[in-house]
Structure 1
Amino acid sequence: MMLSQKQTERLLAVSRYYYQDNLSQVEIAKKMNLSRPTVAKSLQLARETGIVTVQINDPFTDSARLQQALKDHYHLKDVVVAQQVNHDEAGIRDHLGAVAADYLDTIVTDGLTIGLNWGHTMLAVAQHLHASQAQNVQLVQLKGSLTNSAETNYSAEITQQFNQAFHTQAQLLPLPLVFDDARVKAAALRDPFIHQVIQTGTNADIALFTVGTTRADALLFRSGYLTAPQIQRLQREAAGDILSHYITPTGAIADPELDQRTVALPLDQLGRQKYAVLIAGGEAKLRAIHAALLGGYANVLIVDQAVAKQLLEL
């Protein structure tokens, strides 16, 4: 639309009064001796002709602001918010895996020790690893395995791909994830070789882990280690698990007796690492991520954009 100079000047005046001086349409009408409908039409025409453009600055889409807000909110040393590619759980995991692999490139240096978790999210990380230039990197498993289950935890695939990327051989923890008797577990941990692996994990510079849910299809619930009443109680009282330690919504141990029988880096040791990196996303894991952060078990968070926003609303 072609505007005369007079029309343009009127649109500019109306727009400045409205957007810069915060005058109402009624006040502008009185000031310029116009009708209120004329002022309204002028504001609309100013937008249609490009004299006025509206920009909405949503802080939640600004990754830097969102990351800083999460750092402040949960007292973290670092946060990486992955751009939202979709809301599909498998797609979110894959994207988080790629982002986490890139992040590892920035923090792994010569002589560091990396503690590994297993599961779907860690598999996604392993699949996106790049060949590292760092020398003398050590890898160690942070928890036992599903020795009596038909379910796969991808431990072998994860370990193999990390070994290839970091040109090393991981120290394995050849114990079941859960013992029937805490005394038997305590005896097993006294074995010199097992004790050495546990100590290496405790002293790791980087711990990579995720959180699990208490949904019926959770891997640990399908593993055969837990009874039906135990599962039902955990679904009532726990927000999820970290390294197979079930935690309450506030981050406390949900089942101390079960925890005494679980072979994994103790939660009171997690978070002391230079980089305790929690990699998790998807709305199903929101409660578990929040609980893990409240418990202080992570100092680095890698999360998708949608969950990052929801965390700040909790």
Structure 2
Amino acid sequence: MYYLQDLTMNAIARELRTSRSTVSRLLSMARDTGLVQIQVNNPLQRAPSLEQQIRRQFGVEAHVVPVTDVVSDSDVLDRVAIQAARTIGPLVDSNAIIGVAWGSTLSAVSHHLTRKVTHDSTIVQLNGAGNTQTTGITYASEILRRFGQAYGARVEQFPVPAFFDHAETKTAMWAERSVLRILDLQRRMTMAIFGVGSIDANIPSHVYSGGYLDDDDLRALDEHQVVGDVATMFFRADGTHSDLLLNQRSTGPELDLLRQVRRRICVVSGETKINGLRGALAAGLATDLILDEGSARRLVHGGSR
């Protein structure tokens, strides 16, 4: 009545024989649950032009979030997270297997998801979260729990460390039936959702700030000119990654496997992640990209941070 028939709240209240405040609450609930989504098309907005340029240059579906230069990094992240949550919702179907990475960006996204009823869908953790200081279970499980709750999906955690100390340990663990079950779910993913990790981001990526990498690891990444990671799998600016030793100890999905997932949604906030984003795009890791306007301009017009 309100959105399609242009009735006022007072007119709706009379027709439904209820109060105006009840109508207002119903309208708010419709927006909060995602039943109603509001889109503003600003003819002066630069985002559509940037989206078209990103599509042409990188072959990905782009969603650019307009922000001004005076907005703080945390506010930019929040706005990107809101847009990501609104973009992801309509793409989630029943019988889906959705891989979700953990990290600062995905944590922000998980707080803004709107409810959508699906059937027989599964949220599977993309990479382990433990390190020498913590199991990481609480941090990662909260992110997955919010995704599962939003879409009424079963949640499958991956209770292994982010990195094994030895590649041989990973090889042995990957033969265990309990681990094989999770790996099989990852192989059958219909969607993957992840951010891009960067060591020099203004809002530090959790893998670099949470005690997951020691000094030797960081030196090795620097020596091999690594620019970023997706789900703790690292890559260079040109997208190469197969010879990086740290990837042999990582519990993240093989990037060759990730590229086979039909829908791969990458969420990026902050211009300081631009080098990592370029590397991820060079590696062909994303089909959909959600990012802030400043990062979008730097991506299409060149320049690094």
TM over 0.5, yes or no?
A: yes
Q: Please name the residue that 1:89 is paired with.
A: 73
Identity %: 25
**1:297 pairs with 272, 275, 285, which one?**
285
Contact 2:267/2:291 (CA < 8 Å) preserved in 1?
Answer: yes
Please state whether the residue corresponding to 2:289 is helix, strand or coil. Answer: strand
In the aligned structure 1, how far is the partner of 2:215 from the partner of 2:133? 16
Q: Please name the residue that 1:235 is paired with.
A: 222
The answer to whether 1:169 aligns with 2:154 is yes
**2:238 pairs with 231, 235, 250, which one?**
250
Q: Please name the residue that 1:154 is paired with.
A: 139
Consecutive unaligned residues in structure 1, runs of 5 or more = 1-58
In the aligned structure 2, how far is the partner of 1:134 from the partner of 1:291? 34
Please state whether the residue corresponding to 1:239 is helix, strand or coil. Answer: strand
Q: Deviations over 1:127-146 (max 9, x none)?
A: 00111122222110010112
Contact 2:103/2:205 (CA < 8 Å) preserved in 1?
Answer: no
Q: Deviations over 1:94-114 (max 9, x none)?
A: 111111111112211121111
In the aligned structure 2, how far is the partner of 1:154 from the partner of 1:68? 36
Consecutive unaligned residues in structure 2, runs of 5 or more = 1-42
Deviates more, 1:233-242 or 1:284-293: 233-242
> Counterpart of 1:128 in structure 2: which amino acid?
H
Please state whether the residue corresponding to 2:199 is helix, strand or coil. Answer: coil
Q: Please name the residue that 2:34 is paired with.
A: none
Q: Deviations over 1:10-54 (max 9, x none)?
A: xxxxxxxxxxxxxxxxxxxxxxxxxxxxxxxxxxxxxxxxxxxxx
Q: 1:174/1:306 Cα in 2 relative to 1: closer, same or farther (>3 Å)?
A: same
In the aligned structure 2, how far is the partner of 1:247 from the partner of 1:133? 36
In the aligned structure 1, how far is the partner of 2:229 from the partner of 2:132? 20
> Counterpart of 2:217 in structure 1: which amino acid?
Q
In the aligned structure 1, how far is the partner of 2:148 from the partner of 2:82? 17
In the aligned structure 1, how far is the partner of 2:135 from the partner of 2:269? 22
Contact 1:151/1:223 (CA < 8 Å) preserved in 2?
Answer: no
Q: Please name the residue that 1:271 is paired with.
A: 259
Instruction: List, as ranges, runs of 4+ consecutive aligned residues in structure 1 with deviation greater than 6 Å.
Output: none
In the aligned structure 2, how far is the partner of 1:87 from the partner of 1:93? 10
> Counterpart of 1:119 in structure 2: which amino acid?
G
Q: Please name the residue that 1:102 is paired with.
A: 86
Please state whether the residue corresponding to 2:154 is helix, strand or coil. Answer: coil
In the aligned structure 2, how far is the partner of 1:308 from the partner of 1:203? 31
In the aligned structure 1, how far is the partner of 2:207 from the partner of 2:231? 11
**1:184 pairs with 153, 159, 169, which one?**
169
Q: 1:220/1:60 Cα in 2 relative to 1: closer, same or farther (>3 Å)?
A: farther
In the aligned structure 2, how far is the partner of 1:243 from the partner of 1:124? 16
Q: Please name the residue that 1:8 is paired with.
A: none
**2:115 pairs with 128, 131, 144, which one?**
131
Q: Please name the residue that 1:206 is paired with.
A: 191
TM-score, normalising length: structure 1: 0.75
> Counterpart of 1:146 in structure 2: which amino acid?
G
Deviates more, 1:146-155 or 1:112-121: 146-155
Q: Deviations over 1:170-197 (max 9, x none)?
A: 1111111111111111111111121121
